[in-house]
């Protein structure tokens, strides 16, 4: 078993030992670029930690782990084009630094290279299982992105629809990463199923927390501009919960602000006041904790000694501890 | 064994029986749309015909055949965005009818669904082999598209570079389709290797023929505007051959015309005259025939009774017979 930093070292060593082909550079420079923008390598770490619940030779799971990281970066590259995002982690996005064409084609290449790494596992029965999970999750991520795009122009999005969207767009990949790690370790099917549910439910909790932090986070720790979602009129969990529980007057005031432009800093405190007087922070925190508790119930059901669970439990708890 | 029309019926029946998921429609409508624009289903037919060289139960190869067709349509959808093409087969392209965002995301989904069909083969050893070939070819197609994009702004493209580009961008997929059909039929490795070479070399011959037909084709049969490549200043096989063999005066005249705009019909006859007085049609036809002969040499080396080869030989000969 390894600590998180030791696993991250392994992931980065695998990536360095298995670079993209040397040419054409116009295709692979954007891939190298996005991979060095300082992502936390959370998803490949999940693959390896799930593997280490069951087996010791974690290097076996490195190709699957890297496949998941490449897939994630493929989605970032294409999503940035669709969202017309100028910056990612404070650096120019690929389509800004190069072109939309570069972002499309390099993203495609990165997705296919993800499949190449996946195919490297030395047992074809496991490769077929990994492929099934990877495909299922990858399609769901695309479907989630489509729902997210649809929501931008819809005015009747419900809270269950929103939860389903964040589940597809981000949570299933965390579940899939854990499931694939368990598969590489040849864990029993019901063990990998519990791990999938652990990741999926923790992922939903994490996204709810993300919505909370965007409005209520400590600016010094949050890294992004606090209140950004409010300025952009994003239909977050907080907004949808307010529309569900608030009085007519508060709903109308919220709807009024959500029709104003993004250059109105006063909007942040006004909308935050609406949230506050409707008890939204506590309601949303309770929802997050409900998903979190259900997630850890599945983790508890994984039948390995508790000592084996320490690194994965620690990382997931740390991810979910950042309350406002 | 089946005729081409019978195989096309099987492909279309498989597609109808295995539609995309019902939702979200915004994701899958563009996929359905591009698949009904009237493509010839050449690539899936190659998969099935290669299978029928060796085995009788061709339905086994249908998922792999459809995977290849979905991959091809994914490349069309993304290439149309990159080329800013308004029309495909006389109909609006996906990004024109919907948006670039739709073209990107629906293309991504179609690529992943291609992998889902590929994974359906009922023997995981074969799935792993199919995956290796599919991945190798898919990456090469992306690399070919990148070289094609690079060539647009380069002025020193050589003929060998051009051949390598068309090989990657279009020929390897024909080879891969044949190789995958043979794999589904559990053919010996050296048989599938001959079929790959047959498809690859025939694909290069086909692209050379395509360049010839664009300038010298019968307008009634060609389907596109004859002379379109000349109007667009495309660095085709004909242009690069001319730059290789012509005198300085002809080279300079050709380079002059290639700096003019696309709205100059007189350019077509002027450039055609340069080609003609340098014997380009015959030189290029000879090159095409050389690739074609080498291709059929590999087909002849496939060790199955000649009667089994009739449908595939017939289809490939018909594809390559359209001389100017």
C-beta pairs of A253-261 under 8 Å, 24+ apart in sequence: A257/A230, A257/A233, A258/A233, A259/A233, A260/A233
Q: pLDDT tens digits, chain A, 324 residues: what are they?
A: 999 999 999 999 999 999 999 999 999 999 999 999 988 999 999 999 999 999 999 999 999 999 999 999 999 999 999 999 999 999 999 999 999 999 999 999 999 999 999 999 999 999 999 999 999 999 999 999 999 999 999 999 999 999 999 999 999 999 999 999 999 999 999 999 999 999 999 999 999 999 999 999 988 776 677 899 999 999 999 999 999 999 999 999 999 999 999 988 899 999 999 999 999 999 999 999 999 999 999 999 999 999 999 999 999 999 998 755
Q: Which of B125, B127, B145 sits opposite A105 (nearest CB)?
A: B145
Q: Which of B82, B116, B146 sits opposite A27 (nearest CB)?
A: B146
Measured CA to CA in angstroms, residue B212 lies from B274, B279, B323 at distances of 14, 13, 8
**Contact residues for A270 (Cβ-Cβ < 8 A; gap 6+):** A253, A257
Q: What residue spans define the domains of chain B? A: 1-187, 189-324
- Rounded to whole angstroms, how far apart are CA atoms B191 and A100? 41
Contact B46, B311 (CB under 8 A): no
Where are the strands (E) in chain A, listed by range? 87-88, 91-92
Q: What is the pLDDT of residue A323?
A: 59
Put simply, the answer to whether A127 touches B127 (Cβ < 8 Å) is yes
- How far is CA B244 from its chain centroid? 26
Q: What is the pLDDT of residue B324?
A: 55
Put simply, the answer to whether A105 touches B150 (Cβ < 8 Å) is no
Q: What is the pLDDT of residue B121?
A: 96
pLDDT at B322 over 70: yes
Q: Enumerate the residues of chain A whose CB falls inside 8 A of the CB of residue B149.
A: 26, 101, 105
Q: Enumerate the residues of chain B whose CB falls inside 8 A of the CB of residue A145.
A: 105
CATH architecture of the domain A1-187 equals: Orthogonal Bundle (1.10)
- Chain A residues interacting with chain B (CB cutoff of 8 angstroms): 21, 23-24, 26-27, 78, 81-82, 100-101, 104-105, 107-109, 111-113, 115-116, 119, 124-125, 127-128, 131-132, 135, 138-139, 142-143, 145-147, 149-150
H or E segment to which residue B91 belongs: strand B91-92
Contact B176, B137 (CB under 8 A): yes
Q: What is the pLDDT of residue B224?
A: 73
Segment B212-225, tens digit of pLDDT = 999 999 887 766 77
- Rounded to whole angstroms, how far apart are CA atoms A195 and A133? 13
A91, β-bridge pairs: A88
**Cβ count within 10 A of residue B244:** 13
DSSP state string for A132-162 = HHHHHHHHHHHHHHHHHHHHHH-S---HHHH
- Structure tokens, A192: 């990998």
What's the mean pLDDT when you consider all of chain B? Answer: 96
Q: Enumerate the residues of chain A whose CB falls inside 8 A of the CB of residue B81.
A: 100-101, 104
Put simply, the answer to whether A115 touches B115 (Cβ < 8 Å) is yes
- Rounded to whole angstroms, how far apart are CA atoms A21 and A24? 8
- Reported confidence tier of residue B290, pLDDT bands at 50, 70, 90: very high
Question: Residue B53 burial by CB count (10 A; 0-12/13-18/19+): exposed, middle or buried?
Answer: buried
Helix (H, G, I), strand (E, B) or coil at A200: helix
Q: How wide is the angle at C-alpha B50 spanned by C-alphas B47 and B56, nearest 5°?
A: 105
Q: What is the pLDDT of residue B38?
A: 83
Check residues A82 and B322 and name the one with the higher pLDDT.
A82
Nearest to A201 by CA among A319, A69, A117, A281: A319
- Rounded to whole angstroms, how far apart are CA atoms B126 and B130? 6
Contact B89, A123 (CB under 8 A): no
Q: What is the pLDDT of residue A324?
A: 55
Q: Enumerate the residues of chain B whose CB falls inside 8 A of the CB of residue A132.
A: 119
Where are the strands (E) in A69-206, listed by range? 87-88, 91-92
Q: Which of A78, A128, A142 sits opposite B124 (nearest CB)?
A: A128
In chain B, the percentage of residues whose pLDDT exceeds 90 is 94
**Cβ count within 10 A of residue B39:** 16
Nearest to A176 by CA among A77, A78, A65: A65
Instruction: Check for a shared fold between A1-187 and A189-324.
Output: yes
Cα R_g (chain B), whole angstroms: 20
DSSP assignment, residue A21? P
- How far is CA A181 from its chain centroid? 17
CATH of A189-324, one of 1.10.600.10, 3.20.20.80, 3.40.50.300, 3.30.499.10: 1.10.600.10
Segment B93-150, tens digit of pLDDT = 999 999 999 999 999 999 999 999 999 999 999 999 999 999 999 999 999 999 999 9
Contact B267, B228 (CB under 8 A): no
Q: What is the pLDDT of residue A241?
A: 97
- How far is CA B42 from its chain centroid? 9
Q: Enumerate the residues of chain A whose CB falls inside 8 A of the CB of residue B94.
A: none
With CA atoms as reference, the chain B residue closest to A82 would be B101
Q: What is the pLDDT of residue B323?
A: 59
Put simply, the answer to whether B139 touches A78 (Cβ < 8 Å) is no
- Reported confidence tier of residue B78, pLDDT bands at 50, 70, 90: very high
Q: Enumerate the residues of chain A whose CB falls inside 8 A of the CB of residue B124.
A: 124-125, 127-128
- Structure tokens, B207: 């692209």
Contact A86, A92 (CB under 8 A): yes
Q: Which of B21, B78, B113 sits opposite A104 (nearest CB)?
A: B78
Segment B5-29, tens digit of pLDDT = 999 999 999 999 999 999 999 999 9
**Cβ count within 10 A of residue A132:** 16
- Reported confidence tier of residue B166, pLDDT bands at 50, 70, 90: very high
Put simply, the answer to whether A149 touches B105 (Cβ < 8 Å) is yes
DSSP state string for A46-73 = HHHHHHHHH-S-GGGGHHHHHHHHHHHH
Put simply, the answer to whether B112 touches A82 (Cβ < 8 Å) is no
The overall longest dimension of chain A from CA atoms, in Å, is 62
With CA atoms as reference, the chain A residue closest to B142 would be A109
């Amino acid at each position: 078993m390894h600590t998180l930093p030791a696993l991250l070292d392994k992931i980065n060593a695998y990536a360095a030992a298995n670079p993209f082909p040397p040419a054409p550079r116009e295709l692979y420079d954007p891939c190298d670029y996005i991979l060095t923008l300082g992502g936390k390598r959370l998803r490949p770490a999940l693959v390896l930690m799930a593997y280490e619940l069951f087996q010791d030779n974690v290097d076996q799971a490195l190709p699957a782990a890297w496949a998941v990281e490449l897939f994630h970066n493929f989605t970032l590259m294409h999503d940035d084009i669709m969202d017309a995002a100028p910056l990612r982690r404070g650096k120019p996005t690929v389509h800004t630094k190069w072109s939309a064409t570069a972002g499309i084609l390099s993203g495609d290449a990165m997705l296919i290279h993800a499949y190449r790494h996946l195919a490297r596992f030395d047992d074809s029965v496991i490769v077929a299982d990994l492929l099934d999970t990877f495909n299922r999750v990858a399609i769901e991520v695309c479907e989630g992105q489509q729902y997210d795009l649809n929501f931008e122009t819809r005015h009747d999005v419900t809270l269950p629809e929103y939860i389903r969207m964040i589940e597809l767009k981000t949570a299933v990949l965390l579940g899939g990463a854990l499931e694939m790690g368990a598969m590489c370790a040849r864990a029993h099917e019901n063990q990998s199923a519990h791990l999938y549910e652990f990741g999926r439910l923790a992922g939903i909790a994490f996204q709810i927390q993300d919505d909370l932090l965007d409005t209520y986070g400590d600016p010094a720790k949050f890294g992004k501009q606090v209140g950004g979602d409010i300025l952009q009129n994003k239909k977050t969990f907080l907004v949808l919960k307010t529309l569900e529980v608030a009085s007519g007057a508060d709903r109308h005031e919220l709807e009024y602000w959500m029709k104003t432009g993004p250059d109105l800093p006063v909007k942040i405190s006004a909308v935050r006041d609406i949230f506050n007087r409707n008890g939204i922070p506590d309601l949303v925190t309770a929802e997050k904790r409900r998903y979190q508790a259900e997630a850890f119930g599945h983790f508890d059901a994984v039948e390995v000694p508790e000592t084996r669970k320490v690194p994965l439990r620690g990382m997931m708890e740390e991810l979910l501890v950042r309350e406002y």
